[in-house]
Amino acid sequence: MKYPKIPLAQTVIQLCKAKHIEHIIISPGSRNAPLTIGFTHDDFFTCYSIVDERCAAFFALGIAQKTQKPTAVVCTSGSALLNYYPAIAEAFYSDIPLVVLSADRPKHLLGIGDGQTINQEQVYKNHILYSANLKQDLKEGQSFLQDDELPIFKNIENKLEKFLGLQQNRQEQNENEINEALNIAIHKKGPVHINIPFDEPLYETIDVLTVKPKAIEVTIKPKKIEELLLKDLIEDWYHATKKMIIVGVNSPNAIEQKWLNELAEDKSVVVFTETTSNLHHPNFFPSIDKIIAPLNDDEFKALQPDLLLTFGGLIVSKKIKAFLRQYKPKHHWHVDLQKANDTFFCLEHHIKTTPNQFFSEFFPEVTHLTKSNYFETWSSVKKIRKKKHIDYLEHISFSDLKAFQNVFKHIPDNSILHLGNSSTVRYAQLFNINKTLEVFCNRGTSGIDGSTSTAIGCAVSSEKQTVLVTGDLSFFYDSNALWNNYIPNNFRIIIINNQGGGIFRILPGHKNSENFDTFFETKHQLSAKSLSDMYGFDYVAATKEDDLKITLSTFFNSDEKPKILEIFTPRVDNDSILLNYFKALV
């Protein structure tokens, strides 16, 4: 086996291997050659070559999001690692373990006008869990000043002994830093950055490792709830006749079904789930906006909870945020091992444990249920909304809303559904999504960048069919995602092309002006057909509902190429159809 000659590169690679970081996404470069050589010559690692660093980072994010294991990205020095930043921010806010391995120049080459050189230390400081800036290996006969800025050479007695001592000290420091970073990524579920200086020569290899770094393991036990806090929580639970549970972004199968059943059986509890929650029960309330959008002040007051329990990641629905910020609960608890957002400006308790651990301690202590008609009242409302929803969709013309209805009906069971941001994920909120689907969306920063790359990363890491449903702007924005040699043949992309940023037509503003069309909606006449041809996708388009239904009936079948379906909807009709939908729910 070939190994890079540079000990620091060997150290990074061996510790990644010890921590079971299998997926390595490499963008081409010279300064990162020692890492590239080491990773690609070791069969333990699955390596991917992706040129565009922004796409590479989101591709890695998709793998880490699906596997819930750290995935590493490797790049050269300079602006390359800045292109990782959007995915780093997404990983930071979505608790996804992403490891950035950036090659750097030695310190004495910084700030002197060398090419492809920027200040890389702490470059992600506002959106990273840990930054490790490693020390360069010493060359024999070389010592360094205390400020570690410039190399100088000294003829001293016992030169070799001095060198070995200095190098060993650096080796230990680097090993500790790498271990710390990787352990944080694993256990705290977020992005970390390891910046690695390499001096030339960069391409030399050897057949035997010269260093054997020590992997430091960390064991984290489930954190139990303090006894006094648990007692107070149960007391508040008993006194609350109106309890609301809201679940944000949540990994598939993350919550044990027995705890969901406990919540569903309590008549004083209403459980609101989002499409990204991946939770299902007949007694739960999906499609939050469909339930609460038509409410008047008296109905909002009736729905106002005494106690609000939240878990999972960020919440999509703006309407539920506005409601609970105005009609605040007496108590708000958030259950999460790492963090709690005060989304509704009334957070009382951050319970620092996992939902499963919380429920396993909490429910055995709840010996009786509170009498209440809270669930029954809102269950009746849910039935009314469902009927109104069906009636409205039967009579509207072809539009975004109709297109989404048909798409969600046809996605095969047990698929993975990736949702683009902006209007796509919000339309998805209006439908009861097939409970056999695993649903993902980049809701940490809610940006339209990277949705396609993330979905492809997910598709590569799973044997299930992955389906990306996305808007036109999001798709074209991330079109370099298709410059990827690893896309499986069963991958499917469905583009809802309404010729611009259709969501801006729904928001307050002056529509149908040249200024609005150009700078807000960004009207265009683009099609994905040429991109499909260039990147080897099969392509099909639909402009009418009947054509769409026929196309969807075979679109997911096995084929020798991945496929793109582009659905063209009427740009100037979509907003009024959606706004009238909410009026029709009353």
In three-state form (DSSP H/G/I as H, E/B as E, the rest C), the secondary structure along 428-466 is HCCCCCCCCCEEEECCCCCCCCCHHHHHHHHHHCCCCCE
Residue 214 domain-assigned?
no
- Does residue 156 carry a pLDDT above 60? no
Retrieve residue 27's tokens.
């963008």
Residue 218 domain-assigned?
no
Per-residue pLDDT reduced to its tens digit, 296-306? 999 999 999 99
Residue 147 domain-assigned?
yes
Residue 55 domain-assigned?
yes
Average model confidence (pLDDT) for the chain? 92
- Does residue 157 carry a pLDDT above 60? no
Task: Tell me the mean pLDDT in the region 109-127.
Answer: 87
Q: Are residues 312 and 400 in the same domain?
A: no
Q: Are residues 249 and 339 in the same domain?
A: yes
Residue 101 domain-assigned?
yes
CA distance 384 to 576: 22
Q: Are residues 296 and 334 in the same domain?
A: yes
Q: Are residues 420 and 361 in the same domain?
A: no
As for how many domains the chain has, the answer is: 3
Residue 464 domain-assigned?
yes
CATH number at residue 405: 3.40.50.970
Residue 208 domain-assigned?
no
Q: Are residues 480 and 526 in the same domain?
A: yes
Per-residue pLDDT reduced to its tens digit, 85-106? 999 999 999 999 999 999 999 9
Contact of 1 with 42, CB cutoff 8 Å: yes
User: Can you give the pLDDT at residue 508?
Assistant: 65
Q: How confident is the model at residue 522 (pLDDT cuts 50, 70, 90)?
A: confident
Q: Are residues 258 and 323 in the same domain?
A: yes
Tokens 């060359």 found at: 139
CA distance 433 to 404: 11
User: Can you give the pLDDT at residue 218?
Assistant: 87
Beta carbons within 8 Å of 69's beta carbon, 6+ residues apart: 20, 21, 22, 97, 186
Per-residue pLDDT reduced to its tens digit, 462-493? 999 999 999 999 999 999 999 999 999 999 99
Beta carbons within 8 Å of 515's beta carbon, 6+ residues apart: none
According to DSSP, residue 398 is labeled S
Q: How confident is the model at residue 149 (pLDDT cuts 50, 70, 90)?
A: very low
Q: Are residues 510 and 569 in the same domain?
A: yes
CATH number at residue 320: 3.40.50.1220
Last residue within a domain, chosen from 164, 188, 203 = 203
User: Can you give the pLDDT at residue 500?
Assistant: 77
- Does residue 39 carry a pLDDT above 90? yes
Instruction: Domain of residue 416: give its range.
Output: 396-584
- Does residue 150 carry a pLDDT above 60? no
Q: Are residues 421 and 374 in the same domain?
A: no
In 3D space, the residue among 284, 280, 320 whose CA is nearest the CA of residue 303 turns out to be 320
Q: Are residues 192 and 246 in the same domain?
A: no
Contact of 151 with 197, CB cutoff 8 Å: no
Q: How confident is the model at residue 519 (pLDDT cuts 50, 70, 90)?
A: low
Q: Are residues 244 and 173 in the same domain?
A: no
Contact of 203 with 33, CB cutoff 8 Å: yes
CA distance 313 to 177: 29
Residue 322 domain-assigned?
yes
- Coil, helix or strand for 584? helix
Give the burial string for 566-575 (b: 16+ CB within 10 Å, else e): bbbbebebbb
Task: Tell me the mean pLDDT in the region 261-286.
Answer: 96
Task: Tell me the mean pLDDT in the region 427-453.
Answer: 95
Q: Are residues 574 and 454 in the same domain?
A: yes
Contact of 372 with 267, CB cutoff 8 Å: yes
Instruction: Report pTM.
Output: 0.93
Q: Are residues 176 and 247 in the same domain?
A: no
